[in-house]
Amino acid sequence: MTESSSQSPKRKVLRAENVTKHYGRYVALDNVNLDVHEGEVVAIIGPSGSGKSTLIRCMHQLESLEGGAIYLDDELLGFRRHKNQLLALNAKAVARQRRELGMVFQQFVLFPHMTVAENIMEGPTRVLGDSVADARKLAEHLLERVGLSHRINAYPPQLSGGQQQRVAIARALAMRPKVLLFDEPTSALDPELVGEVLKVVTDLAKAGKTMVVVTHEIGFAREAADRVIFMENGRVVEQGDARSTLADPKTDRLRTFLSRVM
Amino acid sequence: MTNLSITSSAVSAVPSTPPTPKNCVDDVSKAIYPASLSRRLGTIALVLIAAWLVWFLISNPRFEWPVVWNYLFAPAILEGLGVTLALTVISMVGGVLVGTIAALLLMSDYGPGRRAANVYLWAFRATPLMIQLLFWYNLAYLLPTVSIGLPFGEPWVEWRTIDLINPFTAAVLGLSLAEGAYMAEIMRAGLLSVDQRQHDAAKAIGMTPAQSFFRIIVPQAMRFIIPPTGNQVISMAKATALVSVIAMNDLLFAVQTIYNRTYEIVPLLMVAVFWYLVVISCLYLIQSRLEKHYSKGHQRTAVITAETTTA
């Protein structure tokens, strides 16, 4: 795969190498390789059941791998080397590694018993040890960035889906993650609310945030992503520069997929 | 039906009255909703029954209200009330602690712990509380000394069971352990009721399992835990009456001691009834406060959907 868009060789922030996962006899991920460079926006597309969500859930250690390895800044995720063996890390160590990655879920999953501000401040105060005042300032800043300053004291069930997802993005950003992962961030939204969320994600892309976005929005992938990954049956079938790959697919499979969704 | 006729008459009235803008606008906020005949009859019946009950309580000389009043604040009664309250609070706290630990074991992937918790639930729910209390009270007969040390080894510290077990400690032990077995299932149900994705979201901001449990899962599980726990507290407050079998001077025991001497059975039972009603009314209040607190974010007030700007 040639990297046509990269001007200078950038640092690889997140690496998946030969990642494999099964659910019983069903192969969810089959030797998947993926590098994410600093400042890069990678869109993962593909039919449902192709393993896109499983891949980013594995990157965030919400699912366990069965083969291969994932590295964040060259640190092996989920395991430590002991002599010639890999030992699984305990829950505390895994939690420490997870702080470096942000995740935005399809169903938002805000904490319904906390206000918008408390949702955003929870991670910084409880996990990173920030002061409440600092976390509050950060929450105000992030809410302004996602255009929701006026809803700071609302509870999640009082917000529309689009607003909830924008709060979820602010909550993930509050942890200052090295990479932000999105698991179909607009799939649970009413069509008229998709735009406001994609606008926030596009703004983050322009600001140089490193992101991996699993999405069904081909237009968004073309506009906002540097690189697009097409997955099918747990494998990476085609990848390359977002604009040229989507305009002129090399494989029949991607061409068929694009003709179906566009 | 009656409603509809109000609206339709208002509509039909519009052409005949001069069309000033105010008269044209229907406003159901001031509409009347007349009760149906069956409901009116029901109300009359309920009021009659309530009136008869009050009259029965006041006019029946066998309640001996002056005697009730004499004993209501008697020192022996208030002491018994204190014991009942102390037993309820201490045993309930113990029960919740034991129940939480048992629930976590039941849900864990640690097999021996899960089996141990299952045996505990089975044994303590399958046997009558009365028998359990008698066993705890007579523990010294089966186990003369209590010691700390390695099993089958020389003890490091040792006590005589008879010094440790008095009616109060036996009652607290018995009530807490029995309560814990029931609370475990309530806790488990509450924890299961929280959406599994909330665990993911807590992990996603880097929380440890303990942080996720106490900050995210428990506060949400409380909504489901409180109503059945309220039930348990209320039955606990009354179950403490059982401890009179192990000579614990609780409220019922105090009442019994007096009427065994004076034979004023009905008025003294009414004294006990009065205090149980007072205690349980207080528990009602506490429960509704707690429920309000833990329903944060779930009172569905105005859902703002108008604001859909992409700003």
Of A62, A154, A174, the CB nearest to B203: A62
Mean pLDDT of A108-115: 94
Alpha carbon of A256: minimum distance to chain B alpha carbons (Å) = 32
CATH assignment of the domain containing B95: 1.10.3720.10
Closest CA to A199 of A228, A226, A162, A172: A162
Q: Is the pLDDT of residue B18 over 70?
A: no
Q: Which residues of A touch B296 (CB under 8 A)?
A: 113-114, 155
In the prediction, which pLDDT does A2 show?
43
Radius of gyration, alpha carbons of chain A: 18
In the prediction, which pLDDT does A23 show?
87
Radius of gyration, alpha carbons of chain B: 29
In the prediction, which pLDDT does B28 show?
62
Of A60, A61, A155, the CB nearest to B297: A155
Strands (E), chain A: 12-23, 26-37, 41-45, 67-72, 75-76, 79-82, 85-88, 101-104, 179-183, 211-214, 227-232, 235-241
Are B198 and A95 an interchain contact pair (Cβ–Cβ within 8 Å)? no
What is the tally of structural domains in chain B? 1
pLDDT band at B31 (very low <50, low <70, confident <90, very high): low
Cα A153 from chain centroid? 27
pLDDT, one tens digit per residue, over B180-214 is 999 999 999 999 999 889 999 999 999 999 999 99
In the prediction, which pLDDT does B308 show?
38
Are B207 and A123 an interchain contact pair (Cβ–Cβ within 8 Å)? yes
Domains of chain A, start order = 38-58+95-261 (3.40.50.300)
Mean pLDDT of A68-95: 90
Are B200 and A113 an interchain contact pair (Cβ–Cβ within 8 Å)? no
- Residue B171 in any domain: the answer is yes
- Rounded Cα–Cα distance for residues B225 and B182 (Å): 12
- Residue B78 in any domain: the answer is yes
Q: Is the pLDDT of residue B215 over 60?
A: yes
Alpha carbon of B54: minimum distance to chain A alpha carbons (Å) = 45
- Determine the residue among A98, A111, A163 to mutate to test chain B binding: the one whose Cβ has the most chain B Cβ atoms within 10 Å: A111
Alpha carbon of A172: minimum distance to chain B alpha carbons (Å) = 7
Paired tokens of A232: 């099918």
pLDDT, one tens digit per residue, over A179-200 is 999 999 999 999 999 999 999 9
Are A127 and B207 an interchain contact pair (Cβ–Cβ within 8 Å)? yes
- Residue B247 in any domain: the answer is yes
In the prediction, which pLDDT does B241 show?
87
H/E run at residue B149: strand B145-149
Closest CA to A177 of A137, A126, A217, A212: A212
Closest CA to B255 of B270, B240, B245: B270
Are B215 and A126 an interchain contact pair (Cβ–Cβ within 8 Å)? yes
Burial of B246 (0-12, 13-18, 19+ CB in 10 A): buried
- Residue B104 in any domain: the answer is yes
CB A112 within 8 A of CB B194: no
CB A123 within 8 A of CB B211: no
> If you measure CA to CA, which chain B residue comes closest to A195?
B310
pLDDT band at B249 (very low <50, low <70, confident <90, very high): confident
Of A157, A163, A172, the CB nearest to B298: A157
Helix (H, G, I), strand (E, B) or coil at B188: helix
Residues from B contacting A (CB-CB < 8 Å) are: 195, 197-198, 200-209, 211, 215-216, 219-220, 294, 296-298, 300-305, 307-311
Paired tokens of B238: 């009354």
Angle, alpha carbons A219-B306-A154 (nearest 5°): 100
Listed in sequence order, the DSSP H helices in B108-244 are 111-126, 129-137, 139-142, 161-164, 167-193, 196-204, 209-211, 218-239
- Residue B24 in any domain: the answer is no
Q: Which residues of B touch A105 (CB under 8 A)?
A: 197, 200-201, 204
Q: Which residues of B touch A172 (CB under 8 A)?
A: 204-205
Are B205 and A171 an interchain contact pair (Cβ–Cβ within 8 Å)? yes
CB atoms within 10 A of CB B121: 21
Are B207 and A95 an interchain contact pair (Cβ–Cβ within 8 Å)? yes
In the prediction, which pLDDT does B153 show?
79
Q: Is the pLDDT of residue B3 over 50?
A: no
Q: Is the ipTM of this complex over 0.90?
A: no
Mean pLDDT of B247-251: 84
pLDDT, one tens digit per residue, over B37-51 is 899 999 999 999 999
- Residue B87 in any domain: the answer is yes
CB A256 within 8 A of CB A240: no
Q: Is the pLDDT of residue B11 over 90?
A: no
> If you measure CA to CA, which chain A residue comes closest to B306?
A160
Residue B290 CB partners (closer than 8 Å, separation 6+): B222, B226
Alpha carbon of A74: minimum distance to chain B alpha carbons (Å) = 19
- Residue B34 in any domain: the answer is no
Q: Which residues of A touch B190 (CB under 8 A)?
A: none
Identify the residue whose tokens are 């501000």.
Answer: A117
Give the phi and the psi of residue A93 in degrees, each rounded to 5.
-70, -40
Paired tokens of B73: 């604040």
- Rounded Cα–Cα distance for residues A149 and B309 (Å): 13
Are A95 and B219 an interchain contact pair (Cβ–Cβ within 8 Å)? no
Q: Which residues of B touch A103 (CB under 8 A)?
A: 200-201, 204
Alpha carbon of B202: minimum distance to chain A alpha carbons (Å) = 8
Closest CA to B182 of B223, B220, B126: B126
Cα B188 from chain centroid? 17
Q: Residue B276: which domain range?
A: 70-147+154-294
Question: How many residue contacts between A and B have a Cβ separation below 8 Å?
Answer: 110
Q: Is the pLDDT of residue B2 over 50?
A: no
Q: Structure pTM?
A: 0.76
Alpha carbon of A153: minimum distance to chain B alpha carbons (Å) = 11
pLDDT, one tens digit per residue, over B257-276 is 999 999 999 999 999 999 99
Instruction: Pick the range with the lowest mean pLDDT from A40-49, A143-152, B7-16, B49-58.
Output: B7-16
CB atoms within 10 A of CB B201: 26
- Chain-wide mean pLDDT for chain A? 92
- Residue B262 in any domain: the answer is yes
Q: DSSP readout, A108-166? A: ----TTS-HHHHHHHIIIIIS---HHHHHHHHHHHHHHTT-GGGTT--GGGB-HHHHHH
Helix (H, G, I), strand (E, B) or coil at A107: coil
In the prediction, which pLDDT does B295 show?
83
Q: Which residues of B touch A54 (CB under 8 A)?
A: none
